[in-house]
Amino acid sequence: MTRQPYDEPGQVGPIDVEDEAALARWAERLGFDTDAVRNAVIAVGPDSKAVALRLKSARGAAD
């Protein structure tokens, strides 16, 4: 499998919830489990910045 530039650490890009390996990398990078990342993608779309904001705001609301 060829890694895309947005798969590299520190990069942004779309999150493909159909690619379990990529989803797991994003979940680890964002500090959430894969289900939380998948649900955030469903809510806001695949843009990694939007997903990160959604997850962080949800975490803040739970505190």
The confidence band for 1, taking pLDDT boundaries of 50, 70 and 90, is: very low
CA-based nearest residue to 6, from 39, 51, 62, 40: 51
Question: Which pTM value belongs to this model?
Answer: 0.77
pLDDT at site 18:
97
55 vs 59: which has the higher pLDDT: 55
Instruction: List pLDDT tens digits, range 29-43.
Output: 999 999 999 999 999
